[in-house]
Each structure stands twice: as structure tokens, then as C-alpha cells.
Amino acid sequence: MSHKYTRYIFIKHKIFFSFITLASV
């Protein structure tokens, strides 16, 4: 697995969790 791909997944999850946090508030 490429490190660049792993970083992409990490950023995607980070944005996803941020969206849930905003939705909860």
C-alpha cells in the first residue's frame, strides 16, 4: 500500500469526523 494512499484515507476520515462533530452541534 502506498503511503500517499494511506494519507488520503487519513485526511478523508478526519474531514468525515469533523462533519459529524458539526452535525452533532
pLDDT at 21 over 80: yes
The whole-number pLDDT of residue 22 equals 92
Mean pLDDT of 8-22: 95
**What Cα–Cα distance (Å) separates residue 12 from each residue in 2, 8?**
16, 6
Mean pLDDT of 1-25: 91
The torsion defined by the Cα of 12, 18, 23 and 25, in degrees rounded to 10, comes to 180
pLDDT at 1 over 70: no
